[in-house]
Structure 1
């Protein structure tokens, strides 16, 4: 499973990460609600572990925005010290799929996450993003344009997901930098380098280009005007 942990307590987050990674799962972690919402909305996670008490945006608000503003159905398990029924009702009405009170046992957390993911896979056997003839399967991370498989590095795949979710609207440079590097982007214009790499893979073999640069704003992804992309100088029914 690919799991996002949104937890301000570094000790708790580290324990979850160490335990689940030892079990073969892939983990990302962030310590505040706004950053957690951005990551959860831009990546195809199998599940999210979300703490109630978070800086900048608390768990229930993260959940509401994730469900209502972004329409993301990813299973979410909420962690909280709150034990009152009224608090649990708030969590579930905000969009939580499960609720675990602190302190908790790590094996139980893993079993609950596995159950949530299994149920979600039963509801939706294939989740795909689609922009024109470009598709991205969020379960397998397989990306194709006009049937041609795109071989993407992880950073480029994250950028592609964000651009596809927003298309045809723009995604700002700040949003994309935060997606890749959080609150501490590196010096220099490394985002331009990552976008160039994505362009070479996504647009390079095709006549019509999908990635557009908006000066001083960011980037956006637009569908080709033709229903099927055309490779330059060759047919489009094979892989590179």
Structure 2
């Protein structure tokens, strides 16, 4: 899973980015000004930085310049986010080392496509749309799942549920977290619905009596566990 640092001082936009990029399979960290961004990069090196041009304290262009000036961070890909659309501004951002440049307002699908294109060039091992766990393969582009040598037929909700679990193998996701990531913030769903869909996912994955990869953690939630063989 690609770790993305979002540096954006507009809180509504940063939360929107966090939510949508999380649903697309990215691990997202948020910072709201230039000083915070530089500290965050030092503490945990991200795979990609989404960087707003206009920031408090230290501008996005200056952050990009500083990242490129240090050997430890010069290879981190940077995509600039800005309302500036003039050619000279785009050139300035690229001259400071930005890998790409997205002008506000932008569509989320365009941004994700740009991010994946940059990651394919710079981080090819984590950029693909195919996730693998043990003998299970999930292809986000074709919406197909295979286990061993057979196709696993899932409904759209079970597919999203498996995708979330495969993004962080071993991590226990609470039912509330799964509701948020699979169904979304604005949809009211009974919390026990998660259990119903986990049951359907298990039935499809373990159709031939394979080892059950989904671990139930009592009073907590669910996790994918390669060493787990029961419920």
TM > 0.5 = yes
| Corresponding residue of 2:95 | none
> Separation in 2 of the partners of 1:154 and 1:79?
34
In the alignment, is residue 100 of structure 1 matched against residue 102 of structure 2?
A: no
Tell me how far 1:191 sits from its aligned partner. Answer: 1.7
Q: How many residue pairs align between the two structures?
A: 188
Q: Within 5 A, what are the aligned runs for 1:229-240?
A: none
Which runs of no fewer than 5 residues in structure 1 stay unpaired?
Answer: 1-5, 11-29, 227-240
Tell me how far 1:220 sits from its aligned partner. Answer: 1.2
Root-mean-square deviation (CA), in Å? 4.6
Tell me how far 1:179 sits from its aligned partner. Answer: 0.6
| Corresponding residue of 1:217 | 220
Q: TM-score, normalised by structure 1?
A: 0.55
Q: Within 5 A, what are the aligned runs for 1:29-178?
A: 32-33=14-15, 36-37=17-18, 39-41=20-22, 43-44=24-25, 60=37, 68=44, 73=47, 77-82=50-55, 86-90=59-63, 93=67, 97-104=78-85, 109=103, 113=111, 116-123=115-122, 124=124, 126=128, 128-178=130-180
Which runs of no fewer than 5 residues in structure 2 stay unpaired?
Answer: 1-5, 68-72, 87-100
> Separation in 2 of the partners of 1:157 and 1:194?
10
Tell me how far 1:32 sits from its aligned partner. Answer: 5.0
Q: TM-score, normalised by structure 2?
A: 0.57
Tell me how far 1:176 sits from its aligned partner. Answer: 0.8
> Separation in 2 of the partners of 1:225 and 1:213?
10
Most deviating of 123-132 and 214-223? 123-132
The one of the two structures with greater contact order (alpha-carbon pairs below 8 A, sep at least 6) is 1
**Local SS of the residue matching 2:164:** helix
Tell me how far 1:210 sits from its aligned partner. Answer: 1.4
Tell me how far 1:40 sits from its aligned partner. Answer: 2.8
| Corresponding residue of 2:188 | 186
| Corresponding residue of 2:98 | none
Tell me how far 1:39 sits from its aligned partner. Answer: 4.9
